[in-house]
Amino acid sequence: MMKKIYPRTGDTQTVYLNAVVKDPSIEVGDYTIYNDFVSDPLLFERNNVLYHYPINHERLIIGKFCSIACGVKFLFNCANHTLKSLSTYTFPLFYEDWDLQKSDVVTAWDNKGDIVIGNDVWIGYEALIMAGVHIGNGVIIGSRAVVTKDVPPYTIVGGVPARPIRKRFTDDTIQKLEALKWWDWSYEKIKQSLPYLLNGDIENLSKQKFP
């Protein structure tokens, strides 16, 4: 886990996210960054993880080396209203006024599960990720996209609701990247492999043998 909060000297708008979050139900991998030029990025949990209440025991899981732009929001299950009822009004939430059981509060919304973000994902400015969505490794999410469905690895999505635009690489390259899992390599191995990572050289990246 990162202990250093700010990756760059003098830049207090960008943070290593797992050095900032305290909620044990939010899991963030090393080197994932969050940038906020509107609010304090140290307040990520309060400003960006919304309707995330303990009653649902839901998790936000974000992988390593992700880049999260200013204003990205993760909208959890308590923001939902159940579609099983004939009314959209959340009667079970106001159980005291309607003589309902407190234990039935969770029936006021549909629980779609955790939000899971893979590794090396770039989430654009003010994108919105909805409850239950799983996003694969290497995905790019366009600015102000509303992601309501799972996104396959190394796919670019955008729009409202977000739809696939194209794959970032060929299927062969995607398979190699998924197998390599370079984000799990040691710091030393990643550092020595940067010329191949930065220049898109999958063949030489695949040949790296050092620990």
Pair 37, 115 in one domain: yes
What is the average pLDDT across 157-170? Answer: 98
Residue 130 in any domain: the answer is: yes
Pair 32, 114 in one domain: yes
Reported pTM: 0.93
Catalytic residue among 52, 57, 81, 134: 81
pLDDT tens across 113-140, in order?
A: 999 999 999 999 999 999 999 999 999 9
Q: How far is it, in rounded angstroms, from Cα 111 to Cα 125?
A: 26
Whichever domain contains 138, its CATH number is 2.160.10.10
Closest CA to 42 of 12, 8, 83: 12
Q: Can 134 be counted among the known catalytic residues?
A: no
Distances (CA, A) of 208 to 65, 188, 194, 195, 196: 19, 12, 11, 12, 10
Q: Which domain holds residue 143?
A: 14-168
Residue 128 in any domain: the answer is: yes
Pair 187, 154 in one domain: no
Pair 102, 184 in one domain: no
